[in-house]
Amino acid sequence: MPFVGEWNNSTLMVRAFVALELSDEIRAQLGAAQEMLKQCNARMTWVEPENIHITVKFLDEVDNEKIPHVKSALASIAFKPFSVKAGAITVNNPRRPFTVWCALEDGGQGSQLLRLVEDALSPLGFTREGRRFTPHATIARVKRFDPSLFKALNAISTSTYGDCLITGMKLKESTLTPQGPVYEDLLEVAW
């Protein structure tokens, strides 16, 4: 029996998600857009440009002992590379914005991939997503809304941020820190 203060590895949890990586070019352009949005009076927390990604499925807290099974399930998914175009930057909900994101066009490929991911993970006890998949890359979270956010969004409304080829997916661990999340790749599945 472990004594107080000793870690029992079987009870460790990993905060994990399945992600698609965007190109460095798109991330840099979204970082420049963030700088323009920082001129508004809304209080937001910013996603570091190198951390901007597409979340396919958030797995939440996963028992460390289950991670090898998750890796095996994800590694079994066959898919083809597909193109993603980074379009306009907008908010998740104009009435109550809590996320600023870049809308992405993927020809429905993200939805198809999500179905395969859920088919692979549901036997492991992961719940299927109830909402429709909306491909996007979060660039900020709104902590205190201010109408000046919409003015700043309008100023960049005609901008697009490039396109890239998605050639695989990753299982990532997210460790929350006071400075923001730290991501670690647990698995990369190339197509």
Catalytic residue among 21, 26, 29, 53: 53
Return d(Cα 119, Cα 62) in angstroms, integer: 17
Catalytic residue among 136, 137, 140, 153: 136
Return d(Cα 118, Cα 126) in angstroms, integer: 8
**Residue 179 burial by CB count (10 A; 0-12/13-18/19+): exposed, middle or buried?**
exposed
User: Would residue 53 show up in a list of annotated catalytic residues for this protein?
Assistant: yes
Under 8 Å between Cβ of 104 and 161: no
**If phi over 0 gives left and psi between -120 and 50 gives alpha, with beta otherwise, what is residue 175?**
beta
Measured between alpha carbons, how far is residue 39 from residues 32, 43, 103, 150 in Å?
A: 12, 10, 21, 11
User: Would residue 69 show up in a list of annotated catalytic residues for this protein?
Assistant: no
Going by C-beta distance under 8 Å and a sequence separation of 6 or more, which residues neighbour residue 158? none
| Active site (catalytic) residues | 53, 136
